Chain A
């Protein structure tokens, strides 16, 4: 067995495999299928200061090798999380990380302050990249100035590991990554979904109630991989890679591109046990290539 332990700043993971926010619920949805404590980290559903109903149905459109979603951060709010969800997840032997979103900087800060008090939540993932909400969300993540402002404010309020999730819907993602690093982000995760659209030609109507939505799945993987590589070149903080990972080979590609850890999202919908297969597959790869530790393959593309 190779050593799969990895540290993302202060965050210690038993392996580099995490689940992406919005694709794994609060973990319990999957506990019939696998031992969720084997996963390196579970990033729970996007949480906001107040409850949100999300967008109207239809919220999803299947695409070639992927899907568009327009869920719109449906959640019951941070207080509900603290009072009802946290007690059920706090003793799971893995890192439970909360994805935080908001419409204003104050909302992000207020939510982060409340989560800062939860002993068994070692990190938050700041979502400045949700394409499916009218206010805030992605708007914060598409300019260096607004990304800096929100990260700076949350950094003052939040003392533990601060991961910032970046939007791919920008001209130069490295600039945004450098900006949030400059304001004290401990790590960055990328990519969130790519803004896309689907049309029903028979009805001559958009498929999604919101007209546009976020594209995920293997369709986005080459773009995600390129962006992870670019960001890993640009910043000194750890990079968490995600976007269309379906198997261990995909996960290893992201690590070779410079990711210290990876997240699995849409693939959970096809195979609820995919995380375990990826963990085992990474171990098999390391043994086969005679690497002692998973850290040996981070950015290990050789001279290019």
Chain B
């Protein structure tokens, strides 16, 4: 548990904010896919911590990035924070994405909505390890396609928007790169129907597929058993056994 200091609150669009946090202490080692349980102070209707994906870590600048989508009172309070304020985090929590099974693998990272959050740090990590990284990012309009230049640092970026204002028109599940190209490993986070579509594509081509789930949580450390998902091993906590699951472990109809 650590109090981090907000270095910068970047308004990315009317629903997304990027919180860049820092600390006098060195950031702990964080794996791609891990998350933080963020305490929201000063919001009477927000009782529990908010589980939020680690968006990016810059060890040189000792920065931790959290991507916030304003959904309710808790995230509205976070989005209204000012530089210099402190934020209490339990982190890093959960497991992480795994690397592809062989070198030089082509990987596709598919994100929809706020589900893009863990993919930036994952892409950075995979590029660093020498894999060929491709991002497929979807949003409703081009205004919600945020930080594309950040993703471009680590791989090819393909986009869809529902209104056709950027990239291919439609949902990410309809994009040609998902449906026509083959990859060795798929990683995805976002709405469940989208993740299932990616899982179907991976299954069809016998590729590996890992998904990051965002079940509602209380403790974040495996004590309360609230965030479970059904797996081949029965109910397991998404906060400790996940949030990343190989689709072969999940009891999804795909």
Contact = CB atoms under 8 A, between A and B. Distances in A.
B218 A269 contact: yes
Nearest 3 pairs of A and B residues by beta carbon: A60-B226, A25-B223, A269-B219
Contacts of A291: none
**Number of contact residues on A: which range applies?**
20 to 34
Interface string A13-40: 0000000001111000110010000000
Nearest to B218: A269
A93 interface: no
Contacts of B44: 64-65
Interface stretch (A67-75, A108-116, A153-161): A67-75
A interface majority secondary structure: loop
A57 interface: yes
A72 to B, nearest CB: 9
B interface majority secondary structure: loop
Interface in A42-70: 45, 53-54, 56-67, 69
A71 B230 contact: no
A30 B47 CA distance: 20
Interface of B: 1, 39, 44-49, 90, 215-230, 234-235
A273 interface: yes
Given A33-B1, A53-B235, A57-B228, A63 B47 contact: yes
7 contacts: A23-B219, A29-B223, A57-B227, A60-B224, A65-B44, A67-B48, A217-B47
Contacts of B45: 64
Nearest to B215: A57
Contacts of A217: 47
Contact of A62 (B48, B220, B222): B48
A61 B48 CA distance: 10
A117 B107 CA distance: 54
Contacts of B46: 62
A266 B222 CA distance: 13
B48 A269 contact: yes
